[in-house]
Structure 1
């Protein structure tokens, strides 16, 4: 269905001139209504063609505010014409009966311009409403982000409380570590606990991903390992690490949360100076520093929480009187130069070979000692590509607690 044609109002005193003006406008199929007063124009009027003599001087402003208006006059020197033009009406035509084609063209152009202006005004209104709505959404989002940030900060504090005391010595073995989450919560976790006078147990975990979901897995890991340690009777230490990895593998699969981890579990026998251990896809591999030589602990194992019915290796290593055992999460590799994984692993070995303390390795990796999000909670929120955790076990130099 064709759209209705716009109504053109002709405002002039009744007579042959007004009729002729209306006929001139209507020749191209325009709908025309001739009236004598502004108040006689219907609401659907799209445009007014007003003769300069037909509108009192004080009425031009009201007419211009209500409708787009073309002014016609028989003389360019008509004072009423000049008054109408001064108030800002659309345009004017002198001797309109002689210039009918120009008048009709100007009418159509004025109607189109008015339509476009109304559309722009409507768009501006919609844009203003949209901006207002977006401001409300942004305000709501900022509120929720603030609440989430507080929750994450609280979660980070709780997670740090689950970590063992730092730089503690048990049975002549000292554990020093540093942890920097990529935001507030970490998918990395570790523990170092004395079982009795003979055995100390420790583990080092890197849960896939980072943030809240990965941090929840570390809490589950802490709870399960504490329970399993309380159930252990101290027998068969060589079987404990592999058994723990198998049990944790089943636990993660049963949760169905789609998280897996790389994990190293070790039992130190302080009497025999022996490390019983098992590992699940630990990367980088644990590195043992003996004298000036860096040794990669042997062994391979599947990730924990990916595949059912996995058997993990039972491994043993005789620890020398003076040793340093380094464990790093894969986030450390992001801090090293090198185009390939092998190049970065080699670079890590070179750095460890030249370091005797954890602080020295951190300095070599350009990891700040004061402004990062470390285990003490200072400077939380440092932007790292991944969680970064380093654990250093050193011992048997002085065999005392």
Structure 2
């Protein structure tokens, strides 16, 4: 039964029969208000019980449109009763005074159904409003995403401007590379510069992760490497690479940005044809191709930016007149067949051995279809989505390879 606060309006002509009808309904705790027309009912009325004789035929639809209404009559063949039912009222009952219990149950059930219908309508309205709000939110998100996309594209273009021109020949060593970001910005980075006629310097970096935060570290790396190169006096080239890595390790730890990197730093002595280098967890190791053989460079070192007080190794090797030195980021391992890391590394060695140029290696990895044009990559950002990670390949060749 509905709570007592729900008011039942009774519409009937004044007299003992209306009083009896109101009394019958008022049992079981129902609150009843009797009136001779719909205008006489208070606004808090929740349900109407109307006698067919008390409502003009033209008012049934208006009555049904206002509140759920039950029609009562003393006779089944009452013409007004039939017109009321046709108007769409809730239900009807004949001889309500004899069927008081049924009447009250019908009222309670009708009020419950009306309440549920009102809740459903409210839920539909809320759902419609929610859908409208979601559409507005989606439009706002699309706008913000478009702005973020443009910002990321601009950042990617700036990052590419920081890369050196390719290919370049510094003294008698030719440098070439290919960098493919999987998103707008890359965590891979490299640089090469001539210090003077005797020395040239280069590094190859892979910052953990990819995207904006990793790209910021590459900008820091570019700035610091330029700064340290300008401070170098050209003495003790064997110490430059490990000193750079130790200084960068301190910088990343002091910055507290939670980023680390793997790096290979090299100093080529063109007069001696010698490579001084150091590394921090480089994987895969650089591959030196000479006289039809491929040899991974030796050495190991800790990642840069993870542990304080790390000493990085002082390493070096002779460079013959004709050589190719390949450096690849770990993204290349995703492009190679093999169930284990060792199998993929052996496969990489096999492919660099048969590759005379950067394009040869890209072709053997089925990467030839990927754009080599930085501007087209920027315009079609977010980059090379077909790649699972940033991928960078760098090749050094010399000393006699570039001579006619």
TM-score past 0.5 threshold: yes
**Cα shift readout 1:277-328 (whole Å, capped 9, x = no counterpart):** 0000011111112233221110000111111111111111111222211111
**Cα shift readout 1:70-96 (whole Å, capped 9, x = no counterpart):** 111223332222222222111122222
Unaligned runs of 5+ in 2: none
The reply on whether 1:394 has 2:397 as its aligned counterpart is yes
Contact 2:262–2:282 (Cα < 8 Å) also in 1: yes
Structure 1 position 371, deviation (Å): 4.3
Alignment of 1:220-239 (within 5 A): 220-239=220-239
Indicate the SS of the match to 1:367. coil
Structure 1 position 201, deviation (Å): 0.8
The equivalent residue for 1:188 is 188
Structure 1 position 398, deviation (Å): 4.0
Indicate the SS of the match to 1:197. coil
Indicate the SS of the match to 2:20. helix
Q: Structure 1 residues 132, 400: CA separation in 2 closer, same or farther (over 3 Å shift)? A: same
Structure 1 position 360, deviation (Å): 2.5
Unaligned runs of 5+ in 1: none
Structure 1 position 345, deviation (Å): 2.3
Q: Structure 1 residues 271, 399: CA separation in 2 closer, same or farther (over 3 Å shift)? A: farther
The equivalent residue for 2:108 is 108
The equivalent residue for 1:164 is 164
> How many Å separate the matches in 2 of 1:399 and 1:157?
30
Alignment of 1:241-252 (within 5 A): 241-252=241-252
The reply on whether 1:318 has 2:318 as its aligned counterpart is yes
Mean alpha-carbon deviation: is it higher for 85-94 or for 366-375? 366-375
Mean alpha-carbon deviation: is it higher for 369-378 or for 16-25? 369-378
Alignment of 1:143-162 (within 5 A): 143-162=143-162
Contact 1:322–1:395 (Cα < 8 Å) also in 2: yes
The equivalent residue for 1:255 is 255
The reply on whether 1:297 has 2:297 as its aligned counterpart is yes
Q: TM-score, normalised by structure 1?
A: 0.94
Contact 1:171–1:400 (Cα < 8 Å) also in 2: no
The equivalent residue for 2:46 is 46
Mean alpha-carbon deviation: is it higher for 121-130 or for 40-49? 121-130
Q: Structure 1 residues 56, 399: CA separation in 2 closer, same or farther (over 3 Å shift)? A: closer
**Cα shift readout 1:223-247 (whole Å, capped 9, x = no counterpart):** 1111111122221111111111111
The reply on whether 1:90 has 2:90 as its aligned counterpart is yes
Q: TM-score, normalised by structure 2?
A: 0.93
Structure 1 position 375, deviation (Å): 7.1
Contact 1:285–1:297 (Cα < 8 Å) also in 2: yes
Mean alpha-carbon deviation: is it higher for 199-208 or for 320-329? 320-329
Mean alpha-carbon deviation: is it higher for 231-240 or for 307-316? 231-240
RMSD (Å), alpha carbons: 2.1
Indicate the SS of the match to 2:283. coil
Mean alpha-carbon deviation: is it higher for 113-122 or for 199-208? 113-122
Q: Structure 1 residues 93, 354: CA separation in 2 closer, same or farther (over 3 Å shift)? A: farther
Structure 1 position 254, deviation (Å): 1.4
Indicate the SS of the match to 2:213. helix
> How many Å separate the matches in 1 of 2:204 and 2:46?
79
> How many Å separate the matches in 1 of 2:191 and 2:15?
104
Give the aligned length: 400
Structure 1 position 58, deviation (Å): 1.6
